[in-house]
Amino acid sequence: MLFGNSSKEEKSGIELISINVFCEDEWFNGRKKFRKVFDRRETTFIYCEVGFLNKYYNKEDQKIKLQFRCLFKTNTRGDEEVCNFEEEYIISKEESIAYLYAGWGNQEPGVYWTLGDYYWEVYLNEKKLGTFDFYVNDVGIVTPYENPYFEVFDVRLFNGGNFIENIEEITPLKIFDKNKICYLYTDLLIKNKSATPYHAEIVFRYLDVNGFIKGEATIIEYINANVGEIYHLFSGWGSAEPGTVYQQSLYFVDILFMGQIIARAQINISDHEEEGKSLIWIGNPYLTQNLNKSDQVDFAYSIEKNSKNVNEILSKLNALIGLEQIKAQIQEHILFIQYVNLRKEKGFNDNEKLSLHAVFTGNPGTGKTTVAKLLGEIYHWLGQLSKGHVVEVGRAELVAEYIGQTAPKVKEVIEKVRGGILFIDEAYSLIRDEDDKDYGREVIEVLLKEMSDGNGDLAIIVAGYPEEMENFLNANPGLKSRFNYYYEFPDYTPKELMQILQSKAKELNLIITHEALIEFEKIITDQYRNRDKTFGNARFAMGLLNEAKINMARRVMSHPDPTSLPPETLSTIEKIDVQEIYEQQNKPRVNYNIDESLLNMSLEKLNNLIGLTSVKKRDP
C-alpha cells in the first residue's frame, strides 16, 4: 500500500489513514473482512475502502469526490485498466474517522475477475492518494470442510527474534517461559495440493482464553511448488523486549486462509521452557466436535506423527545398519501406494482396499520392532492409517483364561489399536499343537475376520522365528493368503554388529579404545560362529557394551580418588573391561553330587499331584 501527497487533501479537511480491499459486504463490529487474496470462483465484487481522519469533526459536514481506478498488472510498460469511475460522499461532522468504499465486478461469482495481479488507485481532486495491491487466484473455493490449495501438515510454535535464519532448524516449544518470550512465532507447514501457482495470504491471530485479540500478523507468499511438496509459512507477534507481552498462562493462535480458520494451536505460558509439540486443531475449532482428554492425547499423537514427511522417515530407515533387502522392499511398497493414490487423484475408480498386513520372520534382535514403527509412520504419512502408532502384543494380551472371553478381548485390543499397527510378536505361540481346545485358535479366527471384512484403518504384523512362523501360517487354511507382504530379517554379520555396538557407544558418549574394539570383535565373531536361533543379534551387541560399561564403572570407582579423574577417563572403555566379560563367562561351575534320596522324595510328591500329566512326562 502506497500513499501519495496532496495539498488539496489538506484543504478538504481530511487526512488519509488507510486503504484496504474486501469482497464480502457484511459488517463485523464496524469493519469488513479485509483481504488481499481472492479466488476467482468466489468473487463477485471487489471493493476498495479508504479511511480518512476528519479534520472538520464536530464542526461541519463536508462533501468530497473520489476517483477509483483498478488496473491489471501485465508486466509490460502499460498495465491494463479494469475500471475507472468517480463517487461522491458526504462526511458527517459526527464522524471522527470516515470509511468510504466502492467496488467493481458482477453479481454472479466467477464471472468477472480472472487470474492475475491487480491494484487499486485512489484519487482526490485529481491527485493520487495511494495504491493497494491485491491478487486473484484460480484454484477453487475454500470452505470449512474443503481446501483445494493445500493440506495443513503441521503447526509448530517457537520463540524468536526479528529474523529467523533457518526455519528447518528451529526448536518447537510446548511451554514458553514468559520472561524469555520476544516474538512468539507460529510455523504453519502445508502440503501443496495445487498444480497451479497461487498467492497464499495467511493470518496468524493471537487470542487470549476469552477470545480477545492480542495481536495479528499477516504474510503473503507466492506458492509455486510441486503437488505434495511441504512448505513453511510462518510469522510471529510480540516485542523485541523479552517478557513484556504475554502475561497470562494460556493463549491460542488461530490461522486463517481465504477468510477461513484452517488451524488453531494452544500456547502454554509458564515460568520455564519445555520443548515439544503443542496441542493443535486441524480445521475450524468452532465447527469441530469437542474432544475429551483421551481424544486430545490421541489427536496430539497423530499430529506429532504427521510432522515428519516421508523423506525424513526414509532417512531414519536408511540409517539403520544392514537390512538392505528390507529397505528395498519398503521402498517398492511406498512407490506402489503412491501409484495407487495418484490413480485416485486422477479419477480412476480403484475400490480395492490396499492390504497392509505383513509377516516378519527373523531371530531376536534383528530390527523387526524398529521397522514396524517406521512402517507405522510411513503408512500414516501416505494416508493409509489415521494415526500410525504401533502396539506390540503377545499371547498374554490376546488369549483369555476362560471360554467365551478370548474373542471380546481380541476385539477390544483391535479397537484400541485402530488407526495404527497391531504387532503380534511370537505369533506362533497362539497355536499349540498339543491342545486342540487352546483359546489361541479363537484369536486367529477373530483376526481373520478383521482382515477379511473389518472396518479397516488397521495393519496387522505377525512376527517370530522363521520355522515356527511357517508352521503358524500353515495351521489355518485362510491365514497365509491374508498377508500380502513378507519380510525376512537376517542375522547381522559380525561387521554389522560391531557397527551397532559403536553406534550405541557414541549415543551414550562412551569412548572405546582400539585394543578394546579388538576384544569386542573377538567375542562377537566367536558367538556368531556358534550361534543358534536364540542368538540375540543387536541385543547381544548392546548387552556386551553394557557389561563392559559396568566393568569400566567398577574399575573407575576402585581408584583412590575417582572425583579427581578427567572426564575422558570416566567414559573410556579399556581392553581389560572387555576381557573381564570373558572371565565372567568362563567362571568354573560348581559340580554338586546328586542327592538320590532327596530326588526320589521330590518325584514322589510330584506324582501324587492330581493332573499335570504333560508336566510329569516332560524330560528333565
Per-residue cell: 168 = 528447518
How many domains are there within the chain? 4
Q: Is 614 contained in some domain?
A: no
Read off the amino acid at residue 579: Q
Residues 297-333, buried b or exposed e (16+ Cβ, 10 A)?
ebbbbbbebbebbbeebbeebeebbbbeebeebbeeb
**Is 600 inside any structural domain?**
no
Q: At a CB cut-off of 8 Å and minimum separation 6, what does 569 contact?
A: 556
Q: Is residue 432 part of a domain?
A: yes
446 and 339 assigned to the same domain: yes
Same domain for 299 and 317, yes or no, is no
Q: Are residues 298 and 314 in the same domain?
A: no
User: What Å distances lie between residue 40 and 23, 34, 228, CA to CA?
Assistant: 11, 16, 23
Instruction: Kindly state whether residues 13 and 154 are assigned to the same domain.
Output: no
Tell whether 518 and 468 lie within a shared domain.
Answer: no
Q: Are 419 and 381 in contact (CB under 8 A)?
A: no
Query: What per-residue confidence (pLDDT) applies to 10?
Result: 44
571, part of any domain = yes
Q: Is 608 a member of any domain?
A: no
The answer to the question of residue 590 being in a domain is: no
Cα–Cα dist 307/152, whole Å: 10
pLDDT of residue 3: 55
Domain CATH code at residue 402: 3.40.50.300
Here the CATH number for the domain that contains residue 510 is 1.10.8.60
Give yes or no: residues 366 and 397 share one domain. Answer: yes
**Structural domain span for residue 550:** 494-585
Residues 477 and 388 in one domain: yes
Same domain, 73 and 178: no
Name the stretches of the chain with pLDDT < 70. Answer: 1-12, 288-311, 349-352, 433-437, 584-600, 608, 610-620
d(CA 180, CA 171): 15
Rounded Cα distance between 359 and 483, Å, is: 7
> What's the CA gap between 594 and 66, in Å, rounded?
113
Indicate whether 397 and 461 sit together in one domain. Answer: yes
Tell me whether residue 615 is in a domain: no
Asked whether residue 620 is assigned to any structural domain, the reply reads no
Say if residue 274 is in the same domain as residue 375.
Answer: no
